[in-house]
Chains A and B, each alone.
Chain A
C-alpha cells in the first residue's frame, strides 16, 4: 500500500460523512436497507416506511440495474430516480442508488444523497473520474475479482479528483465455493480499517445470496469493525423483479436490526474497555 496516497491512514483523520438526517457514516453504525430494484412508487414507499420503522438509516434501491443478461429487467431509469426522490422526501430517509454511466452522474446526483459504484464497475475509470468531480458521497463496492490494492486504487481515482466522500463496501469475492453466491471476505474489513481512513460497510445480501446467512454475517460485520451494513429487503420477494432469492422479509429485517443494535452496544463497550 502506498503511504503517500490519499486513501492512506497515515496523516489522515478518519473520514466522517454527515447526512441530512444527522447520521454520520464513519461514526454511527449505519444500516442501509431497501429493495434491489425500484419497481414502482408503491413498492418503494411500502418498503421505505417499513425499514425506517425497523431502524434503517438509509434507503437503497436500484434505478439502473447491471444485469448479467441483457434481457433481464434493466431498471426504471429516470422514472426510478424520481420515485426514490419523492419517497425520500416523504419518509425522510437519505437514499443511495447505483450509477452505471458517466453521463448519468450529474443527473443521479440531483435525485439521491449517495451514489454507488457496483462491483462490476469498480474499475470503470471514466465513471470514477466523473464521480470524483462531484462532492457526492459514494459507496465503492469491491469488484468480485479485485485485490485490496486494486480496490484502493479505484478509491484513489475518486479522491484524486477532489471528492473526499468515499465509502468502501465489501460484497464478497468469487472463490471455488458455489454454495454461497460469493465468499464474504470479512478479514479485508479489518485490513481496510488498519490501512485507510475510509469508512467501510458490508453487503451480506450479495456476499451470501442466502437469506438465512445474512443475519449471522451482519452480526459478524460489527465485530470486524465495519461502519455499517447494506441489506436487501422486499415485502413480496416472490414477485421481485431482481435478486428475489436473497431479500429479507420486513419482519426478518426488523428482527435483525434489534440483534444488530445489541451487538453494536456490546462491541462498543468491549472496545472502550480496551
Chain B
C-alpha cells in the first residue's frame, strides 16, 4: 500500500508523517505537492500539520483552494481514507470535508505540550483495532485548536458517533483542565458521515517512537495500515 503525504507551502510535519509511515510502519509513502491533482496509486492520504500558506487569513483558509484539494475531495468521495493532522484537520474543515471550525485557544496562547486523548470510536481508519476508551499521549502544537460547532450540531455529531477523540486526563476522565484549548465537549478529533475522513489536532507522527517520548501515536498509523491491508 502507498500513502500520500500532501505538502502545502508551510507544511512542517510532512517529513515526520512520511518518516513514520515509511520507516516506522514500513509502508510505501510519497509526497504529493499541493499543485498535484493526480492521486492515482494512493491507498490513503495524509494532510500533515504546519501552517499552510502561513495561515495568515485563517487556518487552512487558502490551502483548501489548492489544486490538490479537489483531488482529495474526490478521493474521499470514493471512500478513500484521509487523515488530517492539526493544520491538515483545519484544511479539511475549511474544505467542508469535516465539520466545525477552530477558534483561538481559550487562553489565547499557542500551546505546545503533551496531551492525553481518549479513543471514542474504533470504526474509523485512524482507530480501527483500538479499544474504545484507550488513552493515547501525544503532543499538540497549535494556536487555533478550540473546536467549535453550535450546540445543536454538536448533538447531531455525537448522535452519529462522529466524535473520534476527546481530551481527557491520563486516566481517561473528562476534566476541564485536561481540555487545554477549550474545545466544545473536549473534542480532539472527528470524522465525516461516511467515516473515511478523520481529523485530529494532536500530532501522532511526533509520538511514534519511544525515543522521542511516546510511541502512542504509532497506533493511529498502524490502524490505518490495518484498514488498508484488510481491503
Q: Do A and B come from one complex?
A: no
User: Interface on A for B, CB 8 Å cutoff?
Assistant: none
